[in-house]
Amino acid sequence: MTRNNDPQDIRNAGGTGPEPGATLTGHACIRRYLPTLESAPGVYRMLDAQARVLYVGKARDLRARVSNYARPSGHSARIARMIRETTAMMFLTTRTETEALLLEQNLIKQLKPRYNVLLRDDKSFPEILISRNHPFPQIRKHRGARREKGSYFGPFASAGAVNRTLTQLQKVFLLRNCSDATFESRTRPCLLHQIRRCSAPCTGEIDAAGYAALVADAERFLQGKSTAVQAALAAEMQAASDAMEFERAAALRDRIRALTAVQQSQGINPRGVAEADVVAVHMEGGQACVQLFFIRAHQSWGNRDFYPRTGAGAEEPEILEAFLAQFYDDKPPPRLILLSHPIDNADLVAALLSDRAGRKVELAVPQRGEKAELVENARRNARESLGRRLAESAAQTRLLAGLADAFGLEAPPRRIEVYDNSHIQGSDAVGAMVVAGPEGFAKSQYRKFNIRGDSLTPGDDFGMMREVLTRRFSRLLKEDPDREGQGWPDLLLVDGGAGQVSAVAGILGDMGLDDLAVVGVAKGIDRDAGKEEFHRPGRPVMALRRGDPVLYFVQRLRDEAHRFAIGAHRARRARAVGATPLDDIPGVGAARKRALLAHFGSAKAVSRAGLPDLMAVDGISEAMARTIHDFFHPRG
């Protein structure tokens, strides 16, 4: 049979071949599927006795691949373990090998099998955008899908790298970074113009042709043509000096210095590589670090390290292949990707990436020259990063063991959840949960809870905690009632004393979760850091000696929860400050809201406006004007 790689089809796809006998496992189980398999490309799944997916793999020839698993010998220790645990298999054939690779990666992301390599960090990377939806383009940081019309340059390894580059680019090319609404409302130049970081097109300090020339220079620089830009600025500075326009010459000199600073901040700037990603992997102690360097326009735009799950023992080629397929799932690949190790299906991966990019993408493992030096530099960074991580992991392991000893836990906790609330006299209340474990803080697992209880008394911390814990664990019980997954905490830390701990224990007891360990962290005498008291249900209050590493660890956990809660509260309060009744009108989004406020000056004035006045606003049709009018003047 042939199936496509639509996600809905993936979820509903069944197995092919005979139903395995209840007592057959391993090679015997796998061998029973061989008579019914086709010699066609496709994807297979290996399942354990609880029907959990152990592994998802692709094959150019399903029958040949599965027959390899049916052999009793010749397997690595990892594959041998996987075969022993297999009690059933499922198969999907595809039209092409590329479809099989794409389907495999979709299934890995959805199912997260234990024996597959899995990229755990799939955040987007920031870019620089020069917009094209305004006569005077804006330059700014961009993250996410490229939906807006304009020129995109990136990716950069971090927001900090983008911000530093943008600051220097503003000094060099004087492009505006204000919003279109701010641009239209200006009547005199802003501070950025006064400190020579903007040419102030908003007030006519530069005409359209002059500004377009600055935009063209900025784009040339970001495309790697910095020499021509520098030469032009140097000639212009010399001309100004010859004409005794010394103030203008000094301004041009400052722009040239800023341009040089941008180039120096880029780090390694390869002469022979215009555009590439350098991907290197290093393995040690059963863990892997993948180091990724971005090279664009002959400049290094930073690097990022990744720590993929290694699938219980995968080796470098398999890790790199999985990384490439998963990382570029939602990111445009460059024309060239330099690798530290050759991968088994290089032609297949290159075809997949080329299809995603709409142009040819080349994979290479350089052996000499500048490209090989770039790869070696990435490998060295991967080795050093993994070394630091292993050292930190060992220290974290000791801290978790010390935490278990201090609080009488059965074993070092694998998952710690820390809870805190933040509000101002009960307003804009937010509950926060941070998570920590053997690898430190798991920021992707953090959660915030906008307190919704209408019956809560302002400032009722117990009531807020009840709502947060009820919502958190009701959902967890619904998703994993047998408590077999990794989302269940081994330890709950709450900010508070005996009363708070007693309340939390009561909440958990009402939900049948009274076996979860709870510890309250109270400020102690004089609210002095280092004199914290720890409260546990039904046990005497305790303290840790000042200077104990476990005490510092708990303080870090508490402070991180406090930081996250305050940040979430401030964000909610800021949204509330900017909220207006216009937010509740169907069909009125951000653009129409700005247009209405710009035209009438306030939401109250909008509420008093008649139909003809509303229709006079740019972007407000007769039907929308009637919707707005009826919202404020409901018919009896």
Q: For each of the domains in the chain, give its residue range(s) and CATH number, in order of start.
A: 7-115 (3.40.1440.10), 127-265 (no CATH), 275-387 (3.30.420.340), 416-575 (3.30.420.340), 581-632 (1.10.150.20)
Alpha-carbon distances, residue 619 vs 315, 551, 589, 599, 616 (angstroms): 58, 59, 11, 11, 9
The predicted pLDDT at position 527 comes to 52
Residue 416 predicted with pLDDT over 90: yes
Q: What is the largest CA-CA distance in the chain?
A: 94
Q: How far out from the chain centre does Cα 75 lie?
A: 36
**Residues contacting residue 2 through CB under 8 Å, at least 6 positions apart:** 93, 94, 95
Tell me the C-alpha distance between 77 and 72, whole Å: 12
pLDDT-derived band of residue 459, with 50, 70 and 90 as boundaries? low
For the segment 136-155, the average pLDDT, to the nearest whole number, is: 88
For the segment 354-362, the average pLDDT, to the nearest whole number, is: 91
- Mean pLDDT score of the chain, rounded to an integer? 84
Cis amide prior to 270 (ω within 30 degrees): no
pLDDT-derived band of residue 262, with 50, 70 and 90 as boundaries? low
The predicted pLDDT at position 20 comes to 43
The predicted pLDDT at position 524 comes to 64
Q: How many CB atoms lie within 10 A of CB 316?
A: 19
Strand segments, DSSP code E, in 53-197 are: 53-59, 88-93, 117-118, 127-131, 139-142, 150-153
Tell me the C-alpha distance between 186 and 189, whole Å: 7
The predicted pLDDT at position 77 comes to 87
- Summarize pLDDT for 175-184 with one digit per residue, the tens: 998 888 889 8
Strand segments, DSSP code E, in 482-590 are: 491-495, 517-522, 533-536, 539-542
Q: Helix H segments across 188-342?
A: 191-194, 208-222, 226-242, 246-265, 316-327
The predicted pLDDT at position 94 comes to 92
Span of 9-18, 202-211, 624-633 with lowest mean pLDDT: 9-18
Residue with tokens 């709450």: 494
The predicted pLDDT at position 218 comes to 85
Q: Is 425 helix (H, G, I), strand (E, B) or coil?
A: coil
For the segment 498-509, the average pLDDT, to the nearest whole number, is: 89
Tell me the C-alpha distance between 359 and 601, whole Å: 50
Q: Using an 8 Å Cβ cutoff, are 291 and 303 in contact?
A: yes
The predicted pLDDT at position 137 comes to 92
For the segment 287-292, the average pLDDT, to the nearest whole number, is: 92
Q: Using an 8 Å Cβ cutoff, are 288 and 386 in contact?
A: yes
Look at strands 491-495 and 517-522 and give their pairing: parallel
Across-strand partners of 282?
289
Q: Is 118 helix (H, G, I), strand (E, B) or coil?
A: strand
The backbone region for 223, taken as left when phi is positive above 0, alpha when psi lies in -120 to 50, beta otherwise, is alpha
What six digits make up the tokens of 151?
Answer: 């020129």
Residue 514 predicted with pLDDT over 60: yes
Tell me the C-alpha distance between 547 and 626, whole Å: 68
Tell me the C-alpha distance between 130 and 507, whole Å: 52
Q: Using an 8 Å Cβ cutoff, are 275 and 296 in contact?
A: yes
Tell me the C-alpha distance between 182 and 449, whole Å: 33
Tell me the C-alpha distance between 447 and 568, whole Å: 10
What six digits make up the tokens of 5?
Answer: 């790689």
pLDDT-derived band of residue 343, with 50, 70 and 90 as boundaries? very high
Residue 371 predicted with pLDDT over 50: yes
For residue 280, the one-letter residue type is A
Span of 284-288, 326-330, 596-600 with lowest mean pLDDT: 596-600
Look at strands 275-284 and 336-339 and give their pairing: parallel
pLDDT-derived band of residue 455, with 50, 70 and 90 as boundaries? low
pLDDT-derived band of residue 14, with 50, 70 and 90 as boundaries? very low
Supply the DSSP symbol for 202: G
For the segment 268-273, the average pLDDT, to the nearest whole number, is: 71
pLDDT-derived band of residue 296, with 50, 70 and 90 as boundaries? confident
- Summarize pLDDT for 381-400 with one digit per residue, the tens: 999 988 888 888 888 889 99
Q: Using an 8 Å Cβ cutoff, are 288 and 294 in contact?
A: no
The predicted pLDDT at position 331 comes to 86
For the segment 407-432, the average pLDDT, to the nearest whole number, is: 82
Length of the chain: 636
Q: What percent of the chain has pLDDT over 70?
A: 87
Look at 250 and 304; give whichever has higher pLDDT. Answer: 304
Q: What is the pTM of this model?
A: 0.68
For the segment 241-258, the average pLDDT, to the nearest whole number, is: 73
Cis amide prior to 155 (ω within 30 degrees): yes
Q: Using an 8 Å Cβ cutoff, are 594 and 580 in contact?
A: no
What six digits make up the tokens of 616?
Answer: 């006079």
- Summarize pLDDT for 70-100 with one digit per residue, the tens: 988 888 888 999 999 999 999 999 999 889 9
The predicted pLDDT at position 362 comes to 95
Residue 274 predicted with pLDDT over 60: yes
pLDDT-derived band of residue 237, with 50, 70 and 90 as boundaries? confident
The predicted pLDDT at position 1 comes to 38
pLDDT-derived band of residue 4, with 50, 70 and 90 as boundaries? very low
- Summarize pLDDT for 528-556 with one digit per residue, the tens: 566 788 999 888 889 888 888 899 899 88
Q: Among 163-177, 365-379, 472-486, 576-590, which range has the highest average pLDDT?
A: 365-379
Query: If we measure between CA atoms, which residue out of 383, 384, 369 comes closest to residue 338?
Result: 369
The backbone region for 275, taken as left when phi is positive above 0, alpha when psi lies in -120 to 50, beta otherwise, is beta
The predicted pLDDT at position 279 comes to 96
